[in-house]
Amino acid sequence: MKIRNKNLTLAVFILLLLISLSGIISSAVALILGFLFTLIFGKNYENFTSKTVKYLLKISIVGLGFGMFLEEALQTSQESLSLTFLSIVLTLVLGYFITKLLKLDFKLGYLISSGTSICGGSAIAATSAVIKAPAKIISIALGVVFFLNAVALFIFPSIGHFFGLSQHDFGLWAAIAIHDTSSVVGAALDYGEEALKIATTVKLARTLWIIPIAILSMFFFKSKDGKIKIPWFILFFILAILSNTYFNLPENITAKITGISKQMLVATLFLVGTSLSIKDLKETGVKPFVLGVSLWICISIFSLAFILYS
C-alpha cells in the first residue's frame, strides 16, 4: 500500500534528490532510491521528472566536456568508430530476425533494436517519430530499455573488474554495450575518472548515429514527413572541449564544473529510478524483454570480445 500524504511525499522526494546531488552516494544507490521512492509513494512527479531528466542530463554532459581535451577526444572517437559501426549493424540485423522469430509487432521490435544499438530512449524517441509508432508501443520499448539500463548500472562495473578491464577498455565497452547515456556515464563514473571520459566521448559519438538511422527508417517504413530530433547538445559538448583545449581555462574552475556535473548525473539517475515501477514492467510482457535481453547479451559479448582480442 502506497503512502498518499502529499506533504510527506514531497519532503521525502526533495530530501532524496538533495542527497543524490550531494555527492555522498553512488549512481547505483541513487537509482535504487528512486525506484524505492516510486514503490512506496507512487509516481507523483512524472511530468517534472521526464522534463528534468532530459535537461539535467544534457547540462551534465556538456559540463563533463570541460574536463576533456580535443586530441584525446578525437583519438577516442577514431578508435571506437569500427566497433560502433559493427555493433549497430549487428544489433539491427539480429533484432530483425529475433522479432520475426518471436512474432512481435514489427515497429516494437524495431524500436527496441534501435534503442539497443544506439542510445536507448533518445534513439527510440527519434525513430518512433519517423515511423509513427503508437504511444503504447513506444512506452513498452522504453520500459524494456530502462529496465536493462538499471541492470547494467549494477552488473557492468563488477564484470569489468572480473575481467580486469582497464579504465580505457571499460569506458569503451560501457559506451557500446549499455543503452542510455545516463546509465553509461553512471557505470563509468563508478569505475573511474578515465573510464568516464572515454565512455562519455564514445557514447556521444555513437549518439550521432541517430541521424542516419532515422533517415534510413524513413525509407524503410515509407514515411515522408517524419521529423528527426537531432541531439544538438552534442555541439555544446564539443564546444566545451574546444574551450578547455584552446582557452587555457584555470584548472580549479574546470575541476569544479566537472565535479558539479558528476553530482548532477547522480541526481539524474535518482530521477530515472523514480520512472521505473513494477506495474509498468509487468504490463510490458515477456516477449519484448526476450528480444531486449537477447540483443543486449549479444552486443555485450561481441563488443567485449572485440575489445579484448582486437
Q: Is residue 150 part of a domain?
A: yes
Assigned domain for 27 exists = no
Determine contact, residues 175/309, Cβ cutoff 8 Å: no
Cell (9 digits) for 179: 543503452
Domain of 100, in residue numbers: 64-269+278-309
Is residue 185 classed as helix, strand or coil in its secondary structure? helix
What is each CA distance from 237 to 60, 125, 152, 240, in whole angstroms?
9, 21, 25, 5
Helix 46-64 × helix 193-207 angle, to 10°: 110
pLDDT value of position 222: 64
Which pLDDT score, from 0 to 100, does residue 259 have?
Answer: 87
* Residue 224: predicted pLDDT: 54
Q: How many domains, in total, are found in the chain?
A: 1
- Decide if 76 is inside a domain: yes
Whats the size of the chain, residue-wise?
310
Q: Which pTM does this prediction carry?
A: 0.74
277 or 305: whose pLDDT is higher? 305
Residue with cell 507523483: 44
pLDDT digits (tens, 9 = 90+) for 253-274: 998 998 898 888 788 878 878 8
Does some domain include residue 53? no
| Structural domain includes residue 226 | yes
Integer Cα distance of 296 and 307 in angstroms: 16
Specify whether the CB–CB gap between 118 and 88 falls below 8 A. yes
Contacts of 173 (CB under 8 A, 6+ apart): 156, 160, 165, 300, 303, 304, 307
Condensed to tens digits (0 to 9), the pLDDT of residues 88-144 reads 999 999 999 999 999 998 989 999 999 898 877 767 766 776 787 776 687 678 778
Radius of gyration of the chain (CA): 19
Q: In the chain, what percentage of residues exceed pLDDT 70?
A: 93
Q: CA separation (Å) from 250 to 72, 241, 257, 263? A: 19, 14, 11, 21
Is the torsion defined by CA of 77, 80, 86, 90 positive or negative?
Answer: negative
